[in-house]
A and B are shown apart, each in its own frame.
Chain A
Amino acid sequence: MDPRRRVLARRVVVVAVVVAQLGFLVRGYHSPHRELGWQMFPESTEWQAEVVRVLDDGRRVPVGEPWPGGYTWATLVRGSGLSYPDQRQHADAGLAAVLDDLEHALAWVAANTPADTETRRLDAVVRTWRNDASPGPEVRLTSPERR
C-alpha cells in the first residue's frame, strides 16, 4: 500500500476504535447490559420473580408446575441466569439487565413452546431490592399474546 494511504488508514482505525470505546463507556450509563462499558460488579440489588403461564380461561399457573409438552422453565432459559426466578438472588449485571433479559425470555418462551396449546401468554411479577436491601419497585412483565 502507498505509505501515505497506510498512515491515513492507521489513523482512521485507531481514532475509530478510541472514539467507539469512549462512546461505549458513556453508553454504559443508560444501557441495560452496559456492553463494553466496563462497569464491573455494578450493584448489590436483588430480585425474585413469580413467572406464570396465563391460560385461555384466565388461570395463572406457575411455570414450576407441569407444563404441556413436558417443558420446564429452567431448561428453556438455561444459561441466561433466569433459571430459578422464584429464588431471591443477586442481579449480577444489574437489575436493568435482568429485567430486560426476563422480558425477552418471556417472549422467546411464548414463541418456542409449540406443544403447549393451552397458554395464552406468560407474565412475570418481579420483586426487587435496592443496593441497601430496601424494597424497590415491583415490576410487571408480560409476553406477547400467542394467538
Chain B
Amino acid sequence: MTAPPGAVAPGPRRRAAAWLGALDELLGRRVVFRSFARLRMLCGPITLWHLWPFLAGSLDGRTYRNAYWRPYASWLPEVPTPLYLVALWLGAGAAVAMTVGWRAQAATRVAACVVAGNLLVSSTHFHNNRAYLALVLAALAIGPCDRRDAVGPAWPLWLLRFEASCVYLGSGLSKLLDADWFAGTVTWQRVVQVRGLVEASPLPGPVVELLVDPGFHTVAAKAIIATEWFIGLGLWWPRTRRKAIAVAIAFHLAIWVSAEVQVFSALGIAALVIWARPQRAPQRPGDQRAVIGT
C-alpha cells in the first residue's frame, strides 16, 4: 500500500503517542467484571483451604515463630503474635464472606492482606501456589468483584491475565532452558524416586512399565513443555482460548493427582474464569471507542 500524495509519514513522537493512546484505551476500557465476581466466590474456599494449616496450628498454640523462621529482610518489623493470630482468623472470616458474598469487596481486601502478610512474615512460608493466591486476591481486591454486574476500568483484569500467563510461560521457559528437564531426566528420576508408590497404585502394569521407562520421558518432557507454552500463549487469542482452557484443566487435574501442590491446581482451574470475554460497559463520555479485541 502506498501513502496518498501529500501525506506525511508519522514521526516517532506521533507513533509513540498513538501507542500510548492505544494502551490507555486498553487499560481504561470499562468492562463488566463478572469473571472477578465468579473468581472471588471460588477463591473464598481456596483461601480457607490455604489458611487452614496455620489456623490449626494456632488452635494448638503454635505459630511460625515457634520453629525456624526467617524474615525476608532484617529491617522488616516483627509482627506481634496476638496481632498475627487475630489477622489469621480475620482472614478466615473474610474467606467465608467472600464465598457467600457478604461485604464481598471489603472481605476480599482483608483476605488479600492476610494472605500476602502471612506470605511475607517468613520466607519459610513461601510456595509458588501461595504467591499465586496472593496475586489473584490482590487483583480481585483492586478490581470490582462484589457484584456480577460491577463495572470498572479493565486494567486489573489485564494484569491478572498477564500474571496467570506468566505462571505457565515462566514454568515452560525454565524447563525449556534446562537440559536435564528437556531431555526427560528430571521427570524420569522423579518417577523412579517414587517407584514404590507408582507400583502400589491402581495403575495397570503396562502403564507402570511405561512410566518408569526413560524413553517415554524423553517424549513426555517435551510434551509438558509444549503444553505449558500452549496454555500460556493460547489463552490470549480468542481462536485458541477454548482449547487452551480445556488443556489447562486437564493439566491441572493431572498435577493434582500426581503431586502435592497445596491449593495450586484448584486455584489454577478457578483462575481460568478470567479468560471469559468481558462484556463491554457503556464508556464514559470522551472515552475512545475500543479498537482492540479482548
Contacts and interface: CB of A to CB of B under 8 A. Distances in A.
Interface of A: 7, 10-11, 13-14, 17-18, 21, 25, 28-29, 33, 35-44, 46, 75-80, 82, 90, 93, 101, 104-105, 108-109, 131-133
A104 B123 CA distance: 11
A37 B170 contact: yes
A14 B158 contact: yes
Contacts of A40: 128, 171, 174
Contacts of B68: 76-78, 80, 82, 104-105, 108-109
Contacts of A104: 68, 70
Given A37-B174, A131-B186, A79 B64 contact: yes
Contacts of B155: 10, 13-14
B124 interface: yes
A94 to B, nearest CB: 10
A29 B178 CA distance: 10
Contact of A25 (B127, B158, B170, B185): B170
Interface in B116-169: 123-124, 126-128, 131, 153, 155, 158-159, 162-163, 166-167, 169
Given A44-B185, A132-B185, A38 B171 contact: yes
Interface in B53-69: 64, 66-69
A16 to B, nearest CB: 10
B193 interface: yes
- By DSSP majority rule, is chain B's interface helix, strand, loop, or mixed? helix
27 contacts: A7-B24, A7-B28, A10-B153, A17-B162, A18-B162, A28-B170, A28-B174, A33-B126, A35-B126, A35-B131, A37-B170, A38-B167, A38-B169, A40-B171, A43-B180, A44-B186, A44-B187, A46-B193, A75-B67, A77-B67, A78-B68, A79-B64, A80-B68, A104-B68, A108-B70, A131-B186, A132-B189
Contacts of A28: 170, 174
B192 A133 contact: yes
